[in-house]
Amino acid sequence: MLTDRQKSILQIIIRDYTRTGMPVGSKALASEFPTHVSSATVRNDMAALESKGLITKTHFSSGRVPSIEGYRYYVDNLVEPDPLDDSAEDLIKSSFNSEFNRIDEIIQESAKVLSDLTSYMALTFNPESGDNVTLGGFRLVKLDDRQVMAIIVTNTGHVVNKIFRLANVSSEQLETIVNIINTELVGKPLKQVLDKLKFDIPMLMTKYIQTPEGFLKIFGEMLNEAGRDKVHVDGELNLLRFVERQDVDRLKPLYNLLGTEDTVQKIINTKSNDVQVRIGGELRNDLLKDYSIITGTYDLNEYGHGVIAVIGPTRMPYSKVIGIVGALREELTKKLLGYYDDDQDS
């Protein structure tokens, strides 16, 4: 249990260290207190905080810096989200007032806005699929005698294409395949489409292609890809601003880690409906031990829910970033619900 003064000292240490990156000493702390407190009193309270593992002494200074436990206590007990300033509010509203043709475009824009406002790396996820994502269209384009490009589009605007070989198939046969898919499957939820690929569609296809298994396998892979939560990233290079020159090489494996959608989904995975903060070792990956991830879930009712996230150093201004994440997810929710409503009315 901390006293009120110890809580204030921890807040000041975190605030100053976040701003300057320098350890905070007792004299500086005493001068920042709203009421007079002696340096000796501050030193005693700092010693108490250090004994609780909330702050630690660096090897090159008598000042103190927050520990991971100190950040955790601060986030859980002391932090209050900052309200958006006028410029941040204007940026969000002006960005979302643009014309968007697809859900992907809105989610990508939200990643850019989140990165611009925080100066960190931002990741935003499309709403999770569920039964609301349906097959919107399918095309086959013959590139030459050996190669065909398949294109599928979902009702949310997600486009997946793949080039593959389909030997000894005429243009007329390709057109027939497209007609079968569009007649039998377009408008149906992706899960239902995948079920039909196992039974109904192969029987229809064998009338026109001797061995449709290869095509159907590729089509199934494309549907699975279309049904996955898509990740949009912005501000990857922002991480460079918070790394010492000698540690730049450590970013290479980190970028590789964050460049794989499946891995990112596992790292970001959150079941909390609130804004959530995970710090350092809580992320259970050594490459992320000096970073924190702040996530916010946006809920679209029957249309599913998605996540927005910020990745930055543990030395980040949590109150500011938590406020931005909370405000952006609210505006994103309004924009997406409006998009779905307009789509249903058209």
Q: Where would I find the beta strands (DSSP E) of the chain? A: 55-57, 64-66, 121-125, 135-142, 147-154, 159-165, 231-234, 276-279, 291-299, 305-313
- Give me the pLDDT at residue 30, please: 87
Judged against a pLDDT cut of 80, whether residue 231 lies above it is answered with yes
DSSP 307: E
Judged against a pLDDT cut of 70, whether residue 200 lies above it is answered with yes
What does the pLDDT look like over 14-62, one tens digit per residue?
Answer: 999 999 888 998 888 888 887 788 888 999 999 999 999 999 987 666 7
Judged against a pLDDT cut of 60, whether residue 130 lies above it is answered with no
Backbone angles phi, psi at 73, to 5 degrees: -60, -45
131-227 domain in CATH 3.30.390.60? yes
Judged against a pLDDT cut of 80, whether residue 186 lies above it is answered with yes
Amino acid at 174: L
Non-local CB neighbours of 343 within 8 Å, separated by 6+ positions: 155
Q: Quickly state the pLDDT bin for 343 (edges 50, 70, 90).
A: low
**CA distance linking residue 249 with residue 87, whole number of Å:** 35
Percent above pLDDT 70 for the chain: 92
- Give mean pLDDT, residues 313-336: 95
**Architecture label for domain 4-78:** Orthogonal Bundle (1.10)
Q: 3-state DSSP call for residue 8?
A: helix
- Does the predicted TM-score (pTM) go above 0.85? no
Report the 10 Å Cβ neighbour count for 166: 19
| Cα–Cα–Cα angle for 204, 206, 211, rounded to 5 degrees | 140
What does the pLDDT look like over 175-184, one tens digit per residue?
Answer: 888 888 899 8
Domain ranges of the chain: 4-78, 86-128+230-345, 131-227
How does strand 305-313 pair with strand 121-125? antiparallel
Mean pLDDT computed over every residue of the chain:
86
Judged against a pLDDT cut of 80, whether residue 329 lies above it is answered with yes
- Give me the pLDDT at residue 229, please: 63
**Architecture label for domain 86-128+230-345:** 2-Layer Sandwich (3.30)
Percent above pLDDT 90 for the chain: 40
Q: Tokens for 5, please give them.
A: 């003064």
Q: Quickly state the pLDDT bin for 173 (edges 50, 70, 90).
A: confident
- Give me the pLDDT at residue 247, please: 65
What does the pLDDT look like over 52-99, one tens digit per residue?
Answer: 999 998 766 678 999 999 999 999 999 999 999 999 999 999 999 988
- Give me the pLDDT at residue 256, please: 84
Q: Which residue has the higher pLDDT, 345 or 271?
A: 271
What does the pLDDT look like over 250-309, one tens digit per residue?
Answer: 778 888 888 777 788 888 877 677 899 999 888 888 889 889 999 999 988 877 788 999
